[in-house]
């Protein structure tokens, strides 16, 4: 039987006003069709509940891709090491980060359904303060599909 994993890491932060923000990335990144479809499904879900839509963000995409690359080599999906992504985003003055992970699901619909059924993951997906999203998905070295979502605000 396949083991499915859902993990959530949420960190609410504020930018230190004394430190200048690093420039944000503006050049388009490579978003796969499935990643954009997952963003669309998340936005459909948020819209059904009267929430703002999240906007794809190149900085969050870069960091979610990095997280997926790290998770690719690990035997299990884990939030260990997410601090590096949050530091990078904090240096660009993003706030209120959340990381949502899923492993072992075969479709974006199935991982989203699992996140909706988990109160913590659902709460993170529906945070009204989230404005930006980065998504990555990959098939890990162990053959398990890994999904990474990063959410943040200004």
Q: 25-74, pLDDT tens digit by residue? A: 878 888 999 999 999 999 999 999 999 999 999 999 999 999 999 888 88
In whole angstroms, give the CA distance from residue 78 to residue 4. Answer: 12
Handedness of CA 28, 60, 115, 2 (dihedral sign): positive
User: 74-93, pLDDT tens digit by residue?
Assistant: 878 888 878 888 888 989 99
Mean pLDDT of 134-144: 85
Q: Of all residues in the chain, what percent carry a pLDDT higher than 70?
A: 88
Place of tokens 């699901």: 105
Strands 132-139, 55-56: pairing is parallel
Q: How confident is the model at residue 14 (pLDDT cuts 50, 70, 90)?
A: very low
Higher pLDDT, 52 or 24: 52
In whole angstroms, give the CA distance from residue 147 to residue 138. Answer: 7
Residue 101, strand partner residues? 7, 148
- Residues in CB range of 105: below 8 A, 6 or more apart: 4, 111, 114, 145, 147
For the cut 80, the answer to whether the pLDDT of residue 142 exceeds it is no
With beta carbons less than 8 A apart as the criterion, state whether 136 and 61 touch.
yes
For the cut 90, the answer to whether the pLDDT of residue 10 exceeds it is no
The pTM score is 0.85
- Residues in CB range of 91: below 8 A, 6 or more apart: 21, 22
CA quadruple 99, 73, 113, 13: dihedral, nearest 10: 0
Tell me, what's the pLDDT at 86? 86
């Amino acid at each position: 039987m396949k083991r499915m994993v859902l993990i959530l890491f949420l960190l609410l932060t504020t930018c230190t006003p004394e430190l200048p923000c690093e420039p944000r990335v503006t050049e388009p990144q490579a978003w796969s069709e499935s990643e954009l479809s997952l963003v669309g499904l998340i936005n459909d879900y948020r819209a059904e509940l009267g929430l703002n839509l999240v906007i794809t963000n190149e900085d969050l995409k870069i960091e979610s891709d990095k997280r997926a690359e790290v998770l690719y080599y690990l035997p299990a999906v884990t939030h260990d090491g997410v601090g590096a992504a949050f530091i990078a985003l904090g240096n660009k003055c993003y706030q209120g980060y959340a990381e949502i992970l899923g492993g072992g699901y075969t479709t974006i619909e199935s991982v989203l359904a699992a996140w909706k059924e988990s109160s913590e993951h659902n709460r993170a997906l529906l945070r009204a303060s989230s404005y930006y999203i980065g998504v990555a998905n990959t098939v890990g070295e162990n053959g398990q599909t890994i999904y990474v979502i990063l959410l943040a605000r200004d």
